[in-house]
């Protein structure tokens, strides 16, 4: 394959030197060859499975017997399934709270890190560190940190004379606990905000200063508008990620107590891989996809009103 | 949510000591016939695998043409994983089945009917060697579907040091449920809302064999007789009374036991008896050896007597079954016969109570006196209600778990109406499972 | 002069406040990790004390070896390394060339393909999870590492995007010069693009390794046999099987987190640069 490609490339080089029409053809062919793995992957792992999962969602299927077509059965079951509505509620609350919260916190950290203070790279490392480590170990650690009886949080609260809540043991506190945990992992959006901040031309800030703008005024009328494309990028990534929360529910609460942390993806997993209810799981997954899709479209559609592009790229 | 399923399942075993290095398996001399490899699956793991490894070693020596491959699957996902393996053609030939999943396997027609084998097998497989009550558990719709591996029931393990410190006399045979609650309350130590020592560990949302022993102590039932539904059983007057009293212990003594919610999240699988944070636990025999090795000073007492006048103990089990579509049914049957023989009982007695009468039991009684209390209780233990057509893990267990958690979480909630709504929810689930019904 | 002085004074106050906030937040960020390490070194009876102590007494370093022999963690590490490296190779080989094509070559349909690719970034894993499972299980790939590694060889939209952004910042003249020298596309990419793209490549490597190392849902679905488990699965198994000690569990968690922390420590300078350049022009 390599020699073949090299030959193409050589042809293209020769073509470049002599004739221009075959050159374009060669480069075109090269493009298709190079992107073909992605095209295959897209068809095999994305589009194909999507079509397939659409079909599965209209069937009753436990893997053991062939799928049995039941039309909209799974979707109408969903309408009457209190656990589906509960999972939708939990996931929505989580996303609605944690998307703005994590974005604001990430922006706040990025602004701090953008100050010219000594040792800023150490702080950058510390703030980024938590987002490198994720998965089961982190959930375990938080389970232990938030242990109502023996955890460090309630122990510290106790020092201040406060009786800490039951955290993941309480139906009222379990979801807030997982939201608090999400604040810990804001490293990636923070870095992206930092990049955005560093892309703001210093002369704009100086001009604003000369006009007599204070720190807050500069922040509101220069920094924020220039940062809106980055905010858009982060908010969309954040929506996509927060709707897929799973590991925390699996490791820390198993969806409980009283289904207060029954996230949609956890419910999908439970149906598909614990109850072998593949059809219902697929239908739930489509609902999740639909929600994420609609939200993304809404954010994009309104972005024209609030996102400010500098000059154009 | 998975806690009680897991606990009910992991009866065989299993105190966990060291995973240890696997004993190197000696490759047996292969006879003329091409060697066949059997797979046996279990939810045991860690030290719980040791009896299997010893058994396999011995079996392979006896049958040079057969190799055995042991597959340990996480108990939480045992049923779905094995079913999935059957779907993609990589199913085990022999598998451990338990009281919570055997009906699912049998209903789907996946297990070999062993009755003819018991009738004709020449060596070993003979029903008269088994304790009849244990063997009977593998009998579903008149057919024998598995060979009991071993069995279990409950007793109370109590920490002697804590009892002495609190000046509470050790529990004795014949003590009552009221006495148990009173003792547990006296053993509870909490300062400014922070528990230093729990008096006891109640079953929480450990339902099969857990909540069930509490309910049966009041003469009630969670499931109907055939294990097809809950209505009529769960909402009977006796069961209602039992569940009310169960939830009431949590409500009137909030620090006596870790709450069900705590056991499913912050304390999930954390052994509070081992870490000396709990004075009494009502449990099976599987951890006795581990506690001994950890140097805990403890005793074993029979379960307290419930209102009906019987000790609140429940008998449960696990057994080996053969996959119907196994490509080596004959060899699998040989392995099964091995597990139905004294050879297995002589290996397994250190971990659980043998299902076979004879030398294995005598070894256990002689060398493991702690376990004797469990053995004595067997004569009065209620066998666990079999599951008929119910998909327990999916349709029943989550609903009951929520019922218990709501009752404990909201002290003002009416338990009877919680039960009523649980019954109707489970009925809805069952209907959705089978729309033809 | 006076104006200037005032400004420096406010600046100094701002700096002071920023410092205090930075240090305060750093402490908050480090509490969970410090707590993990502290618990990992404690004897069991100290783990369950209230109020809690930060400094273990005595420090039980032996908790680490104890935790690691409890379940076959050595095996889990090897398994995870196999998956991580397999995925890493697939990721690098596929994404570099795909991104190069998107950055440098022109062809009809390129724009559409690019947007389609970007939009797949927002596809939740849950939607392809079930059919992928069905397909891989038909191929007999359950209980193998293929479902976890194979897809990496076909590019990932996030990496393609990141590399493309970086490649577009590299001056074209170098490649043109190479082309005049008769270099083929493979040589151009390997000899010119790759050496100039270290920050982006390191970023991709770190994200890829981090992704495989921390992945939980996919191994949970595809791997049933304990002998195939990854460290993340091993950790949940650890809780399920050994009920005694949070100290040992925290020791095991520390060991699982350590390789990623070390990798990040060494790669972080290039990593930050890679993100800043690659992610900037979204």
CATH code where residue B29 lies: 3.40.190.10
Q: Is residue C61 part of a domain?
A: no
Check residue B122 and give its pLDDT.
Answer: 57
Q: Which domain holds residue B358?
A: 3-153+316-383
Q: Indicate the SS3 state at residue B84.
A: helix
Separation between Cα atoms, residue B302 and residue B186, nearest integer Å: 19
Chain A CB contacts of B405 below 8 Å = 171, 256-258
Q: Is residue C48 part of a domain?
A: no
Which chains, if any, share at least 3 CB pairs under 8 A with chain B?
A, C
Check residue A2 and give its pLDDT.
Answer: 40
**Which of B383, B405, B420 is at the close of a domain?**
B383
Q: Rounded to a whole number, what is the largest CA-CA distance in chain C? A: 79
Chain C CB contacts of A56 below 8 Å = 130-131, 134
User: Do B250 and B209 share a domain, yes or no?
Assistant: yes
Distance to chain B for A55, nearest Cα, Å? 19
pLDDT tens per residue across span B144-174: 888 888 888 889 999 999 999 999 999 998 9
A122, closest residue in chain C (CA to CA) = C26
Of residues B19 and C183, more confidently modeled: C183
B267, closest residue in chain A (CA to CA) = A147
Partner-chain contact A168 B193, CB within 8 Å? no
Of residues A103 and A307, more confidently modeled: A103
- In the structure, what pLDDT confidence band is assigned to residue C192 with cuts at 50, 70 and 90? confident
Separation between Cα atoms, residue A185 and residue A189, nearest integer Å: 9
CA B237 vs CA A150, A192, B249, C57, C277: distances in Å: 40, 62, 19, 55, 70
Q: Which residue has the tokens 């050879």?
A: B343
Partner-chain contact C48 B277, CB within 8 Å? yes
CA B242 vs CA A194, B235, B337, C152: distances in Å: 61, 11, 42, 56
Q: How many CB atoms lie within 10 A of CB A139?
A: 24
Chain A CB contacts of C112 below 8 Å = none
Separation between Cα atoms, residue B398 and residue B403, nearest integer Å: 9
User: Do B187 and B326 share a domain, yes or no?
Assistant: no
Of A41, A230, A240, the CB nearest to C155: A41
Q: Is residue C185 part of a domain?
A: yes
Sign of CA dihedral B210, B211, B217, B222: negative
Separation between Cα atoms, residue B297 and residue B294, nearest integer Å: 9
Q: How many domains does chain C have?
A: 2
Separation between Cα atoms, residue C119 and residue C229, nearest integer Å: 32
pTM above 0.90, yes or no: no
Check residue A158 and give its pLDDT.
Answer: 86
C50, closest residue in chain A (CA to CA) = A150
Question: Token pair of B72, please?
Answer: 């340990």
Identify which of A3-12, A53-62, B363-372, C13-22 has the greatest average pLDDT: A53-62
User: Do C104 and C201 share a domain, yes or no?
Assistant: yes
Separation between Cα atoms, residue A267 and residue A279, nearest integer Å: 13
Instruction: Answer yes or no: is pLDDT of B116 > 50.
Output: yes
- In the structure, what pLDDT confidence band is assigned to residue A205 with cuts at 50, 70 and 90? confident
Chain A CB contacts of B73 below 8 Å = none
Instruction: Answer yes or no: is pLDDT of C62 > 50.
Output: yes
Separation between Cα atoms, residue A282 and residue A284, nearest integer Å: 5
User: Do B244 and B301 share a domain, yes or no?
Assistant: yes
User: Do B186 and B302 share a domain, yes or no?
Assistant: yes
- In the structure, what pLDDT confidence band is assigned to residue B15 with cuts at 50, 70 and 90? very low
Give yes or no for a contact between B415 and B239, defined as CB atoms under 8 angstroms apart: no
Separation between Cα atoms, residue A269 and residue B78, nearest integer Å: 15
Q: Indicate the SS3 state at residue B317.
A: strand
Of C143, C239, C245, the CB nearest to B90: C143
Partner-chain contact A63 B87, CB within 8 Å? yes
User: Do C156 and C99 share a domain, yes or no?
Assistant: yes
Partner-chain contact C18 A151, CB within 8 Å? no
Question: What is the CATH T-level fold of the domain A75-306, as seen in this structure?
Answer: MetI-like fold (1.10.3720)
Of chain B, the percentage scoring pLDDT greater than 70 comes to 89
Q: How many CB atoms lie within 10 A of CB B326?
A: 19
Q: How many CB atoms lie within 10 A of CB A6?
A: 16
Mean pLDDT of chain C: 84
Instruction: Answer yes or no: is pLDDT of A16 > 60.
Output: no
Question: Token pair of C112, please?
Answer: 């559409």
Partner-chain contact C184 A35, CB within 8 Å? no
How large is the average pLDDT for residues B312-325? Answer: 88
Of residues A103 and C58, more confidently modeled: A103
Distance to chain B for C86, nearest Cα, Å? 25
Full DSSP string of C158-225: HHHHHHHHHHHTS-THHHHHHHHTT--HHHHIIIIIHHHTHHHHHHHHHHHHHHHHH--HHHHHH--S
Q: Is residue C236 part of a domain?
A: yes
Instruction: Answer yes or no: is pLDDT of A20 > 60.
Output: no
User: Do B118 and B171 share a domain, yes or no?
Assistant: no
Q: Which residue has the tokens 């001009």?
A: A207
How large is the average pLDDT for residues A6-16? Answer: 48
User: Do B236 and B277 share a domain, yes or no?
Assistant: yes
Helix segments in chain A, DSSP class H:
2-18, 21-41, 48-56, 73-80, 82-113, 120-132, 136-145, 152-159, 174-184, 187-198, 202-210, 215-218, 224-242, 247-248, 264-269, 278-306
Distance to chain B for C211, nearest Cα, Å? 24
User: Do C35 and C98 share a domain, yes or no?
Assistant: no
How large is the average pLDDT for residues B122-142? Answer: 76
Q: Which domain holds residue C172?
A: 66-280
| Of B149, B183, B124, B172, the residue nearest B43 (C-alpha) | B149
Distance to chain A for B78, nearest Cα, Å? 9
Instruction: Answer yes or no: is pLDDT of B311 > 80.
Output: yes
Separation between Cα atoms, residue A303 and residue A147, nearest integer Å: 42
Between A23-27, A40-44, A66-70, the lowest mean confidence (pLDDT) is in A23-27
Check residue B434 and give its pLDDT.
Answer: 67
Strands (DSSP E) contained in B113-231 are 139-140, 143-144, 147-152, 155-159, 189-191, 194-197
Q: Indicate the SS3 state at residue A259.
A: coil
pLDDT tens per residue across span C97-116: 999 999 988 899 999 999 99
Distance to chain B for A201, nearest Cα, Å? 50
> What are the domain boundaries of chain A?
2-56, 75-306
Question: Token pair of C256, please?
Answer: 């699982």
User: Do B308 and B284 share a domain, yes or no?
Assistant: yes
Instruction: Answer yes or no: is pLDDT of B230 > 70.
Output: yes
Between B10-24, B132-146, B236-250, C175-189, the lowest mean confidence (pLDDT) is in B10-24
Partner-chain contact A27 C106, CB within 8 Å? yes
pLDDT tens per residue across span B384-422: 887 877 788 888 989 999 999 999 999 999 999 999 999
Partner-chain contact A62 B261, CB within 8 Å? no
In this complex, is the C-beta atom of C24 within 8 Å of any C-beta atom belonging to chain A?
Answer: no
Separation between Cα atoms, residue C126 and residue A245, nearest integer Å: 11
CA C280 vs CA A200, A234, A304, C206: distances in Å: 11, 11, 19, 18
Question: Cis ω on the peptide bond leading into residue A190 (within 30° of 0)?
Answer: no
CATH number for position C222: 1.10.3720.10
Of residues B21 and B256, more confidently modeled: B256
Give yes or no for a contact between B400 and B207, defined as CB atoms under 8 angstroms apart: yes
Q: How many CB atoms lie within 10 A of CB A295?
A: 19
Check residue B141 and give its pLDDT.
Answer: 79
User: Do B347 and B218 share a domain, yes or no?
Assistant: no
User: Do C203 and C132 share a domain, yes or no?
Assistant: yes
Give yes or no for a contact between C75 and C82, defined as CB atoms under 8 angstroms apart: no
Separation between Cα atoms, residue A44 and residue A57, nearest integer Å: 19
In this complex, is the C-beta atom of A148 within 8 Å of any C-beta atom belonging to chain B?
Answer: yes
Check residue B209 and give its pLDDT.
Answer: 81
The gap between the terminal CA atoms of chain B, to the nearest Å, is 27
Determine phi and psi for A89, rounding to 5 degrees: -65, -50
Chain B CB contacts of A148 below 8 Å = 262, 266
Strands (DSSP E) contained in chain C are none
Partner-chain contact B264 A170, CB within 8 Å? no
Separation between Cα atoms, residue B110 and residue B130, nearest integer Å: 24
How large is the average pLDDT for residues B320-333? Answer: 89
Question: Token pair of B309, please?
Answer: 């006048």
Partner-chain contact A53 C131, CB within 8 Å? yes
Between A86-95, B180-189, C240-249, the lowest mean confidence (pLDDT) is in C240-249
Distance to chain A for B173, nearest Cα, Å? 33
Chain C CB contacts of B194 below 8 Å = 50
How large is the average pLDDT for residues B284-293? Answer: 81
Q: How many CB atoms lie within 10 A of CB C154?
A: 21
List, in order, residues 6 or more apart from B254 with CB less than 8 Å away.
none
How large is the average pLDDT for residues A19-37? Answer: 81
Separation between Cα atoms, residue C250 and residue C63, nearest integer Å: 9
Partner-chain contact C124 A272, CB within 8 Å? no
Partner-chain contact C117 A42, CB within 8 Å? yes
| Of C256, C261, C252, the residue nearest C79 (C-alpha) | C256
User: Do B257 and B395 share a domain, yes or no?
Assistant: yes
Give yes or no for a contact between A269 and C217, defined as CB atoms under 8 angstroms apart: yes
Chain A interface disruption, residue of C13, C43, C99, C127, most A CBs within 10 A: C127
The gap between the terminal CA atoms of chain A, to the nearest Å, is 36
Partner-chain contact C155 A282, CB within 8 Å? no
Q: Which residue has the tokens 């004390």?
A: C49
User: Do B289 and B341 share a domain, yes or no?
Assistant: no
Integer Rg of chain B from CA: 22
Of B3, B262, B265, the CB nearest to A252: B265
User: Do B427 and B366 share a domain, yes or no?
Assistant: no
CA B70 vs CA A262, B55, B151, B321: distances in Å: 35, 11, 21, 15
Partner-chain contact A253 B409, CB within 8 Å? no
Helix (H) or strand (E) holding B102: helix B102-107
């Amino acid at each position: 394959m390599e020699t073949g490609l090299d030959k193409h490339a050589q042809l293209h080089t020769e073509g470049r030197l002599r004739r221009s029409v075959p050159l374009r053809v060669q480069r075109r062919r090269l493009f298709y060859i190079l992107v073909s793995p992605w095209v295959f992957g897209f068809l095999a792992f994305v589009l194909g499975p999507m079509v397939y999962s659409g079909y599965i969602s209209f069937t009753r299927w436990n893997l053991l017997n062939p799928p049995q077509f039941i039309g909209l059965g799974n979707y109408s079951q969903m309408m009457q399934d209190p656990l589906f509505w509960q999972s939708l509620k939990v996931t929505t609350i989580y996303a609605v709270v944690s998307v703005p919260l994590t974005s604001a916190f990430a922006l706040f950290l990025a602004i701090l890190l953008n100050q010219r203070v000594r040792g800023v790279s150490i702080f950058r490392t510390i703030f980024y560190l938590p987002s490198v480590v994720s998965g089961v170990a982190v959930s375990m650690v938080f389970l232990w940190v938030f242990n109502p009886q023996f955890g460090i949080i309630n122990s510290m609260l106790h020092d201040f004379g406060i009786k800490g809540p039951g955290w993941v043991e309480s139906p009222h506190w379990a979801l807030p606990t997982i939201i608090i945990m999400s604040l810990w992992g804001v490293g990636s959006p923070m870095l992206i905000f930092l990049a955005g901040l560093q892309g703001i031309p210093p002369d704009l800030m100086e001009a604003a200063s000369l006009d007599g703008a204070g720190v807050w005024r500069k922040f509101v009328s220069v920094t924020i508008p220039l940062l809106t494309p980055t905010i858009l990028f982060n908010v969309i990534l954040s929506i996509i990620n927060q709707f897929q929360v799973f590991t925390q529910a699996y490791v820390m609460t198993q969806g409980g107590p009283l289904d207060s942390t029954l996230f949609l993806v956890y419910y999908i997993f439970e149906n598909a891989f614990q109850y072998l209810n593949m059809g219902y799981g697929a239908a739930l997954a489509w609902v999740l996809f639909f929600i994420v899709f609609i939200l993304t479209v809404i954010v994009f559609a309104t972005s024209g009103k609030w996102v400010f592009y500098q000059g154009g790229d | 949510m998975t806690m009680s399923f897991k606990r009910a399942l992991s009866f065989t075993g299993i105190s966990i000591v060291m995973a240890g290095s696997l004993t190197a398996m000696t490759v047996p001399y292969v006879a003329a016939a091409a060697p066949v490899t059997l797979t046996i699956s279990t939810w045991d793991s860690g030290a719980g695998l040791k009896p299997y490894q010893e058994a396999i070693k011995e079996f392979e020596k006896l049958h040079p043409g057969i190799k055995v491959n042991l597959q340990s699957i996480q108990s939480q996902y045992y049923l779905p994983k094995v079913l999935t393996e059957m779907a993609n053609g990589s199913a085990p030939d022999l598998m451990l089945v338990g009281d919570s999943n055997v009906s699912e396997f049998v209903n789907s027609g996946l297990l070999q009917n062993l009755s003819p084998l018991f009738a004709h097998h020449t060596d070993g497989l003979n029903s008269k060697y088994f304790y009849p009550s244990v063997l009977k558990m593998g009998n579903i719709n008149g057919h024998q579907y598995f060979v009991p591996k071993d069995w279990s029931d409950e007793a109370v393990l109590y920490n002697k040091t804590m009892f002495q410190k609190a000046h509470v006399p050790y529990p004795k045979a014949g003590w009552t449920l009221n006495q148990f609650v009173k003792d547990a309350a006296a053993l509870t130590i909490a300062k400014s809302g922070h528990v230093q020592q729990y008096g006891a560990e109640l079953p929480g949302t450990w339902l099969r064999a857990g909540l069930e022993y509490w309910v049966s102590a009041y003469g009630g039932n969670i499931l109907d007789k055939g294990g097809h539904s809950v209505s009529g059983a769960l909402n009977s007057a006796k069961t209602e009374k039992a569940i009310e009293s169960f939830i009431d212990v949590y409500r009137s003594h909030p620090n006596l036991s870790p709450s069900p919610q705590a056991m499913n999240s912050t304390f999930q699988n954390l052994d509070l008896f081992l870490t000396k944070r709990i004075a009494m636990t009502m449990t099976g025999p599987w951890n006795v050896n581990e506690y001994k090795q950890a140097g805990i000073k403890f005793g074993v007492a029979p379960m307290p007597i419930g209102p009906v006048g019987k000790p609140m103990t429940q008998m449960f089990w696990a057994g080996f079954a053969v996959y119907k579509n196994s490509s080596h049914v004959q060899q699998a049957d040989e392995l099964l016969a091995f597990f139905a023989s004294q050879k297995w009982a002589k290996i397994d007695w250190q971990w659980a109570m043998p299902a076979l009468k004879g030398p294995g039991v005598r070894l256990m009684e002689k060398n493991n006196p702690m376990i004797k209390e469990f053995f004595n209780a067997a004569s009065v233990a209620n066998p666990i209600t079999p599951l008929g057509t119910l998909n327990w893990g999916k349709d029943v267990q989550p609903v009951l778990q929520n019922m218990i958690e709501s009752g404990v979480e909201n002290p003002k909630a009416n338990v009877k109406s919680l039960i009523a709504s649980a019954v109707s929810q489970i009925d809805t689930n069952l209907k959705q499972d089978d729309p033809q019904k | 002069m006076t104006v200037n002085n005032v400004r420096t004074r406010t600046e100094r106050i701002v700096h002071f406040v920023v410092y205090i906030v930075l240090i305060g937040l750093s402490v908050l960020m480090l509490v969970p990790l410090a707590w993990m390490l502290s618990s990992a070194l404690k004897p069991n009876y100290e783990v369950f004390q209230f109020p809690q102590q930060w400094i273990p007494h005595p420090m039980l370093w032996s908790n680490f070896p104890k935790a690691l022999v409890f379940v076959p963690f050595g095996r889990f590490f090897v398994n995870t390394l196999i998956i991580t490296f397999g995925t890493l190779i697939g990721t690098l080989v596929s994404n570099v060339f795909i991104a190069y094509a998107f950055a440098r070559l022109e062809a009809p349909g390129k724009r559409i393909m690019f947007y389609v690719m970007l939009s797949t970034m927002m596809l939740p894993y849950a939607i392809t999870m079930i059919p992928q499972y069905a397909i891989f299980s038909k191929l007999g790939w359950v209980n193998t590492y293929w479902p976890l590694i194979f897809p990496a060889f076909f590019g990932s939209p996030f990496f393609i995007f990141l590399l493309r952004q970086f490649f577009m910042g590299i001056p074209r003249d170098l490649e043109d010069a190479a082309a005049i020298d008769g270099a083929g596309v493979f040589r151009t990419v390997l000899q010119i693009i790759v050496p100039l793209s270290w920050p982006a490549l390191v970023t991709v490597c770190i994200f890829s390794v981090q992704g495989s190392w921390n992945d939980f849902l996919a191994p949970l679905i595809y791997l049933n046999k304990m002998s195939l488990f990854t460290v993340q699965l091993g950790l949940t198994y650890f809780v399920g099987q050994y009920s005694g000690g949070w100290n040992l569990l925290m020791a095991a968690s520390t060991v699982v987190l350590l390789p990623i922390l070390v990798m990040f420590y060494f790669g972080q300078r290039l990593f930050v640069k890679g993100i800043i350049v690659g992610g900037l022009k979204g």
